[in-house]
Amino acid sequence: MGSETLSKPRARDLGLPFSGRTGAFNAITDVAGIEVGYSTVISDAPALGGGPARTGITAILPRGQTGPIRAPVWAGFHSLNGNGEMTGTHWIEEAGYFTGPIGITNTHSVGTVHQSILEWMIDKPDTGVGPYKFMLPVVGETCDAYLNDMNAFHVTTTHVKNALDSASSGPLAEGNVGGGTGMICFEFKGGTGTSSRVFDLLGSRYTVGCLVQANFGIRPLLKILGVPIGEHITTDRLWAGEQGSIIAVVATDAPLIPTQLERVARRAGLGIGRTGTSAGDGSGDLCLAFSTANLTISESATAPAVGELAFLPNNRLDSLFEATAQAVEEAIINAMVAAESMVGREERFVAAIDHDAVKAVMRSYGRLNAWAGS
């Protein structure tokens, strides 16, 4: 479930002074209607054989369990570096929307997750939005092969459907959960992270939320709020060159059109960049943005000849752009702060980031809240 293991600390619990005003949960679920579910697969004697399982699936339902599940949402996509996969993006770039849930998993489980989402959708009663003759689910991936035996295909249809069925709103677990279970970030244990921002624009209040699967970066480049943490915490290094990937999913209730959502997705890339990465050749840094507003997209035979669409003016979007970059940056740090050290296949060890060491470095730069203890 999205609410499992909620006792993990978050970046703000360490006293890190992130900018911006968060929603009630500081999560993507602060955007009304969005639900998130997880299946976490950890086993040293997995049912399907092969090596150890350190993996999973994260499901994001843009319209929740009880909403019009098949109702499209306007969307935009941006590839900061394309060494990765996110299905459905050709249609997003062509038509500006997608339908149904989003799945995030490991690289070799994309096919299983894609088919399982289709099966789950087919079994749902018609919501009145459609009919659709085909569906193109959105499934993103990052590679957990350092800790997980990806070639054993540990993620099954049951795991995917359990994640979808258990999706809920409210606070979310982070770190070693769902698709983020076996992921590594800046050579620390990484995984799933989330954050949100609330902003006022033209007399209305809107929310932007982000969920990341953080599996990228090399230690010397790591920055937290501009502080070169990676230059100070140098133990438990793993490799010399950039590798890994990140999936960043940004949601908002602000009414936007696809070209604007592509612009939002680009600002997710800026949030990723704030943590210090140079988006190396081996990294798949893929960003998706969507809006839950405008529940009127229809291609049915009874659709009106001329549709109507509300959207904010382009020249007033700066506060949304900044909120997006802030939320993505904090979500990445949340993923590392919540993650725990892990031993995976071939007895490989990945250390969690040391909270006390982070606070000591941040304090030395004057970038820690006064109330934060030693």
Q: Is 283 a catalytic residue?
A: yes
The letter for the amino acid at 270 is: L
Could you tell me the CA-to-CA distances from 144 to 53, 56, 105, 277, 372 in Å, in that order?
10, 10, 9, 19, 33
- Pick the catalytic residue: 109, 116, 169, 283? 283
* Helix pair angle (157-165, 110-122), 10° resolution: 50
Query: Which residue is catalytic, options 39, 116, 196, 245?
Result: 245
Strand partners, 218: none
- Known catalytic membership, residue 354: no
Closest CA to 175 of 356, 4, 61, 329: 4
CB neighbours of residue 126 within 10 Å: 11
Helices (H) and strands (E) in the chain, counts: 7, 14
What DSSP assignment string belongs to 262-279?
HHHHHHHHHHHHHTT---
- Of 144, 253, 285, 291, the active-site residue reads 285
323 burial (CB, 10 Å; 0-12 / 13-18 / 19+) is: buried
210 forms bridges with which residues in the sheet? 195, 250
- Asked if 195 is an active-site residue, the reply is no
Among all residues, which ones are annotated catalytic?
A: 245, 283, 285
